[in-house]
Structure 1
Amino acid sequence: MCLEQEIVTEANTADHVKPHRGDPELFWHGELQSLCSQCHSKHKQNEEAGKTVVRYGADGWPV
């Protein structure tokens, strides 16, 4: 998600691509992606909640 904004941030959180919603099979065997903690805690959770997420590039303009 950071790279889409042309920002380089250390990825330190494993995120489930498809939300597991308590399903142990998806939790342990689902596809993962690396995200920074801010993208995981803010942007990804808002997307999963159905909210519109606007990301901004390094220049301050929406991506």
Structure 2
Amino acid sequence: MTIPNLITILRLVLVPAVLLAMLQARWDWAFAGFLVAGISDGVDGFIARRFNQQSTLGAYLD
């Protein structure tokens, strides 16, 4: 399991929290979750390319 894959899995775990925030009209928390998801997507892609940590699982998850 590579670090980029772990970041991607953590991003998937974040989805229910964002949905719950949206259902409760907590737009600040929902926005923060989207922001974290967007930044983490860029970070995991950078790490995968920079440190040659591409994987088949990562390709499917991304």
TM-score by structure 1 length?
Answer: 0.25
- Work out which structure has the larger RCO, using CA pairs closer than 8 Å and 6 or more positions apart in sequence: 2
Greater strand share, structure number = 1
TM-score by structure 2 length?
Answer: 0.25
